[in-house]
Structure 1
Amino acid sequence: MCENSIDHHEHLQENKPWYREKIDLILSFLILMGLLALTYIFKVSLPDKVKFACCLAAYFLAGLPVLKLALRKSIRGDFFNEFVLMTVATIGAFAIGEYEEGVAVMLFYQVGEWFQDTAVDRAKGNIKSLLDIRPESVTVIRNNTEMETHPKEINIDEIILVKAGEKVALDGLLETEAAAFNTAALTGESKPDTKYKGDEVLAGMINLNTVSKVRVTSLFKDSKLSKILEMVQDATARKSQTQLFITKFSKIYVPVVFALAISVCLLPYFFVADYSFREWFYRGLVFLVISCPCALVVSIPLGYFGGIGLASRNGILFKGGNFLDAISTIDTVVMDKTGTLTKGVFEVKDVVVATAISEEDFIRYAKSIESQSTHPIASAIRRYRQDINSSFSIDHVEEIAGHGLKAIIQNKTILAGNSKLLDKYQIKYPSEINTIVDSIVILAIEHQYVGYITVADQIKEEAGSVIQSMKEQGLYTVMLSGDKQSVVDEAARQLKIDKAYGNLLPEDKVKHVQELLDARRKVAFAGDGVNDAPVVALAHVGIAMGGLGADATIETADIVIQNDEPDKILSAIKIGKITRQIVWQNIILALSVKVIVLILGAGGIANLWEAVIADVGVALVAILNAVRIQNMKV
């Protein structure tokens, strides 16, 4: 198992039921303890053949899976692995008459494997129970009749019924006027989240208070929850640099150990006057047993697995152990403004109409074109003046990144966006617009300026303390935004961010992050919009905020934070550092103990009993140290 880490621990289990494995080990343990009790407690001297037969039976009970695997690998030409190592050591012990010690080596090795398997299964079970929350059945309304079916059988645009206390089975839009949902399974936060008609509802949320109707927008396999589960499953396969190093290290380490063991056995012949082959052969066997790399090769991936599980429980998805390493080394955090540091819940403040067009028609045009955008500012405009609907017909909508929207409405060319959009089309507008601090949407009809709408956002309550904590940890903070510079400067002033840039297109954000990378900074970027995907991909660590939102950003990001709370960035950094710290504790512990006992074994001070206890003991301590990550709080 050690060589293949936690992903292949079933090899040693040979698909046997758990109770059968326990019987084998218990019988082997009882035989060994019985022989030791007779020999050392009751001073009974058993015939050598009887002792050999008993020990051989105990040996095969405990070690048959290892022997089979060692033989299988040897036939394939793979001689340098821990299974062959254990086999050679134990057969050698039998060859020199140390039967009990040969059994003990295999028995306690298997006990260690048993503990390792249990720890791995627990880690996998924790993550599976945290995230595998997809309902097995759903109530769908077809032909005005309610019927139960599997979520896989539901099509887009069908209406499903979610009763109070039930989990939502598929992503969709709320058809009921209002309903409260528990989103803890997705975000790690248990506080209720009230949704209103037309709001997005996601699979995994729990309906709290009323029977709700949801219009399905994604198939079962395409739901955000299904994608989250895929991310976690993929995460266990992505190894960190430390894991990859240990894997390579083991491939070199085991052959070197075999060579050193042979040297310990044979070289003293040329330097020791009273050389005894049996004595030095025994020392070589001790050398082989203690050198088994189990503690390293098992506890390290288990540590990263625990880190991924801890993060998942806190609503943070690491797409691999390599990103736990990466985030623990960052020195610069770059953040998008809207939705990351601000609430992203905009409200219309002022509507200024500059021409003969009525305010009602002005708002109708604005609501019509903004109905084609998912940006929070567009949502604010759509919510404004519910008495005015957006009934105009719309054709040929074009989104101009970093500028705004262009569309044909009522056979007229409509532009809605920032001042850069009007500059692009050489449309004149009042110069005082550039002095307005709030976010602004300027409207032009048939290439004529007709007015503007100002929209205000609010900084998240916890954003200030998060930035302060980052500074206390020595992190350099940068804010990037497509908003106008005056808005960005004001937010940066309130939050005390080191550097802030506004009026940015997606390619401008990429440019600023690239400058930080060129300056040898370790950069994490956190953003939530589709336009953030390029810079998320560029940073050392890309973080998708509010990861139940933009699919492109989720797919590109290395870490997905399932709500939009900036303090989760700090939690992710803390989890990365905790995981790295525990992994290195295990590496130092394992190597230190092994070096000490290797020296003692070569010098004839440590025997096989001490070697196996040291090997299994270090492995168990390392495993327990790794497992405790799963129970930590951040």
Structure 2
Amino acid sequence: MKKKKLNLRDIRPSSESGHHHNHGQHQSGLKMYIPAIISMFMLLIGIALDYFKTPFFKDWLRLIWYIITYLPVGLPVVKEGWESIKKGDVFTEFLLMSIATIGAFSIGEFPEAVAVMLFYAVGELFQNAAVTKAKRNIKALLDVRPKEANVFRKQTVVNVSPETVEVGEKIQIRVGEKIPLDGVLISEKASLNTAALTGESKPETITKGTPVFAGSINLESVIEVEVTKEFKDSSIARILDLVQNATARKSKTELFIRQFARIYTPIVVFLAIGVTLLPYFFVPDYVFRDWLYRALIFLVISCPCALVISIPLGYFGGLGAASKNGILFKGASFLDAMTKINTLVLDKTGTVTKGIFKITKIKVIHSEEKEFMNYLMAMETQSTHPVAKAILEYKMQDVGFKATEVSEIAGKGLKGVVNGKTVLVGNKALMTANNISVSEETESIVESIVLVAIDNEFAGYVVIADELKEDAMETISGLHKVGIKNIIMLSGDKNSITQKVALELKIKIAKGGLLPEDKLNEVEKLKQNSNNKIAFIGDGINDAPVLAASDVGIAMGGLGSDVAIETADVIIQTDQPSKVVKAIKIGRSTRTIVWQNIGLAFGVKVIVLILGAGGLATMWEAVFADVGVALLAILNAVRLQRMHWN
């Protein structure tokens, strides 16, 4: 049984799309329903005329009326069946529906023939509506990409779609904008937020001639870039391609049903022929018309379209529901794989932490906090170190003091004069070199610490650390609630910091100071136990080897590095680790609905087949067993689009 392949190509946002384009889509959507509406209206009139035994509604007039009623919904199916036969694919649902309805016409069951085809057409419309909704969810997710580029043309800057920019053209990126295409920096220098691409927690300062990548955010000043790749080859465009191929990786359930349908359909056709002809040799009062009618009922009941429509639609609905929640699965097989995960390994920086340095603690010894911070910030305005930037982002009014005679002491910190007082800002080595004793409590602090001395007296310190993401705690508790108890943190950061974060999150196993190959070795050790089904969550290029080695690789950040996106099986577009819990719940809900549909389809078909074999089922029961069950299965699958996974 072969269904039309669900084609995702039409979800690619067009550079020319606009109000007119959307209006056209709306019009074509309405047109899809017109044939079914016409057939339903004419069928109801025909049934009413039959019921009231209208004198003129008989013989040729009645036949012509029902043929005209049949054509709007039946002709496309018959045509599709014929096209499939010409291509060598004989046993399709289109052939089954055509034989059953034309056969019903041949024995005078006109209303039943029209009804079977009408309900089949309505089922197709329901399927299209559900798929369209899922596509809209995916498209909305993908529209986070840069939508415009400022390109130099004819000595002026023109705002255009990134798809229209050619290799070699020069583009301008303003402060706060994402770089829309891959290229090379032609400005003297730039400060870029590349956290999504590299996993690096601090901004990167680059100089002229350095490659830049789509998705990086320009932080400081207007820059210019020469484009080296077309939009379709950039990291963001890769995500579009991944979505378009999302249905290519079928789940085992879906593959089984499709293979089953290919064997099942020809068997059904030959059994229907047997039901028609074999009773001639065994039944004394054999009536060809009666047995043909039973065979047609058998044929309609046996049509596996409820399975073949609803199961792929169930998975596609799961993919759409995930996209609506900011989660991109690369295929239905990974929806299934998420349901089997029992061990979760996660990176620290950029995964459960924000990857951004901030002041987390200020300790002042003798003065007021405001005065202390004025001294510190006056000194740090003279520094370009990432820690200095974190300090200068401290929420205060303008710095009231000004530093002079500032000198940098390599590897130790800064020395200068503020308000006539000598100020030292740096690490313990700086304090020791100047014979300044610091408080013992600083020894137990594992994060980055900035010590301050004023006029050779220790004045206090600030702690700079990477903050936990708002939903980090919620993620771990959510994983426990869905049954994943084995959670392991692997990080390249200092082991002391890794252990502190693990303690905060109540993660029992954590290892820090690991290189990418060390992380890979740890996961390989876990895989030696065949009972472990492992998911790894990470971000950036350094996590790519582990993403590939895991049963399910989950990449944080929709604009992650090319390697991470290519390697991962699931992409969390919103950078929220708690989405992993939702991904597991969506996978489980999808699996439940798919198996509900399988049970519903087989259960109802078996019952009606038994009734049909005994002559107790009419074509109307057959319609319900086939198209009715398909409709129920589709409506069940559509529930995925409306569910909430909190």
Mark the CA change 1:69 to 1:502 in structure 2 (over 3 Å): closer, same or farther: same
Residue aligning to 1:243: 254
The number of aligned residues is 535
Structure 2 CA distance for aligned equivalents of residues 388 and 301 of structure 1? 67
Matching residue of 1:480: 490
TM, length-normalised to structure 1:
0.72
Letter in structure 2 aligned against 1:474: G
Q: Secondary structure at the match of 2:263?
A: helix
Task: Name the SS of the counterpart of 2:249 in structure 1.
Answer: coil
Q: Equivalents in 2 of 1:590, 1:390: separation in Å?
A: 76
Aligned counterpart, 2:454: none
Cα deviation, 1:126-167, whole Å, max 9, x if unaligned, reads 322442465665434679743334433266894536699x99
Cα deviations by residue, 1:605-626 (Å, 9 ceiling, x for unpaired): 2211221234222222222222
The answer to whether the 8 A contact 2:73-2:121 is kept is yes
Residue number in structure 2 paired with 1:70:
81
Distance 1:275 1:221 in 2: 67
Q: Provide closer, same or farther for how the CA distance between residues 466 and 129 of structure 1 changes in structure 2, counting only shifts above 3 A.
A: closer
Contact preservation (8 Å) 1:2, 1:294: no
Sequence identity percentage: 51
Q: Is residue 159–residue 213 contact of structure 1 (8 Å, CA) maintained in 2?
A: no
> Offset of 1:590 from its aligned partner?
1.9
**2:446 alignment counterpart:** 438
- Supply the distance in 1 between the matched residues of 2:149 and 2:350 (Cα, whole angstroms): 32
Report whether the alignment pairs 1:226 with 2:237.
yes
Letter of the aligned partner of 2:138 in structure 1?
A: I
Q: Deviations over 1:591-634 (max 9, x none)?
A: 22222222222222221122123422222222222223223333
Matched ranges for 1:39-118 at <5 A: 39-44=50-55, 46-118=57-129
1:515 to 506, 525, 531: 525
105-114 vs 25-34, which moves further = 25-34
Report the counterpart of residue 160 of structure 1 in structure 2. Answer: 172
CA-to-partner distance for each residue in 1:4-57, whole Å, 9 max, x for gaps?
3534999xxxxx966666554444334433332222124537442332233233
Preserved contact between residue 170 and residue 223 of structure 1 (Cα < 8 Å): yes
Output one character per residue of 1:170-227: Cα deviation in whole Å (capped at 9) or x when no partner.
Answer: 5799x9x999x9x9xx9xxxxxxxx9998999979999xx998454486533444322
Q: Do the aligned residues in 2 keep the contact of 1:6 with 1:302 (CA within 8 Å)?
A: no
| Aligned mates of 1:318, 1:388 — CA distance in 2 | 52
| Alignment of structure 1 residues 83-482 onto 2, 5 Å | 83-132=94-143, 137-140=148-151, 145-151=156-162, 152-153=164-165, 158-160=170-172, 169-170=180-181, 213=222, 215-216=224-225, 219=229, 220-269=231-280, 272-346=283-357, 438=446, 456-475=465-484, 476-482=486-492
Q: CA RMSD in A?
A: 4.5
Please state how far the C-alpha of 1:334 moved relative to its aligned partner. 0.7
Whether the 8 Å contact between 1:334 and 1:479 is mirrored in structure 2 is yes
Shift in Å at residue 330 of structure 1?
Answer: 0.7
Distance in 2, Cα, partners of 1:388 & 1:622:
73
Q: Which residue number corresponds to residue 46 of structure 2?
A: 35
Q: Give the letter aligned to residue 29 of structure 1.
A: M
Aligned to 1:419: none
Q: Name the CA distance, whole Å, in 1 between partners of 2:29 and 2:81.
A: 22
* Separation in 2, partners of 1:5, 1:333: 34
| Cα contact 1:590–1:618 (8 A) shared by 2 | yes
Find the counterpart in structure 1 of residue 3 from structure 2: 3
Counterpart residue type for residue 4 of structure 2: N
Match of residue 569 from structure 1? 580
Alpha-carbon separation, structure 1, partners of 2:146 and 2:506? 45
Question: Does the Cα contact within 8 Å between 1:334 and 1:480 map onto a contact in 2?
Answer: yes
Deviations 1:358-387 (A, max 9, x none): xxxxxxxxxxxxx9xxxxxx9659978998
Give the structure 2 partner of residue 494 of structure 1.
504
Q: Write the distance in 2 (CA, Å) between the matches of 1:198 and 1:247.
A: 53
Please state how far the C-alpha of 1:245 moved relative to its aligned partner. Answer: 1.6
What secondary structure is seen at the aligned counterpart in 2 of 1:343? strand
Gaps of 5+ in 1: 11-15, 187-194, 350-370, 372-377, 392-434, 442-453
- On the 8 A contact 1:488/1:500 being kept in 2, the answer is yes
Separation in 1, partners of 2:631, 2:590: 18
- Report the Cα distance in structure 2 between the residues aligned to 1:113 and 1:458, rounded to whole angstroms: 50
Q: Contact (CA 8 Å) 2:306, 2:601: kept in 1 or not? A: yes
CA offsets 1:409-462 (integer angstroms, 9 cap, x no match): xxxxxxxxxxxxxxxxxxxxxxxxxx9873799xxxxxxxxxxxx985444443
The 1:527/1:23 distance shift into structure 2, 3 A limit, reads: closer
Deviation at 1:75, TM superposition (A): 3.5
Structure 2 CA distance for aligned equivalents of residues 589 and 169 of structure 1: 48
Q: TM-score normalised to the size of structure 2? A: 0.71
Q: Is contact 1:155–1:216 with CA below 8 Å preserved after alignment?
A: no
Take 1:569 and 1:277, find their aligned partners in 2: how far apart are those partners? 60
Secondary structure of 1:560's counterpart equals strand
- Equivalent pair of 1:5/1:301 in contact (CA under 8 Å): no
Partner of 1:337, secondary structure, is coil
| 3-state secondary structure, aligned to 1:344 | strand
Q: Is 1:250–1:293's contact at 8 Å kept on the other side of the alignment?
A: yes
CA change 1:150–1:456 in 2 (3 A) is: closer
Which residue number in structure 2 is paired with residue 556 of structure 1? 567
Partner amino acid, structure 2, of 1:590: A
Write the letter of the residue equivalent to 2:482. Answer: Q
Instruction: Tell me the secondary structure at the aligned position of residue 468 of structure 1.
Output: helix
Alpha-carbon distance in structure 1 between the residues aligned to 2:8 and 2:104? 29
CA distance in structure 1 between the aligned counterparts of 2:86 and 2:233, rounded to whole angstroms: 45
CA apart distance, 1:505: 3.0
Q: For residues 291-323 of structure 1, give each alpha carbon's deviation from its aligned partner in whole angstroms, at most 9, with x where no partner exists.
A: 222222222222222222222232221111111
Distance change (3 Å), C-alpha of 1:205 and 1:296: farther
Match of residue 504, structure 1, among 511, 514, 539? 514
**Paired position in structure 1 for 2:613:** 602
SS in structure 1 at match of 2:102: helix
Distance 1:307 1:599 in 2: 34
Shift, 1:539, TM fit: 0.7
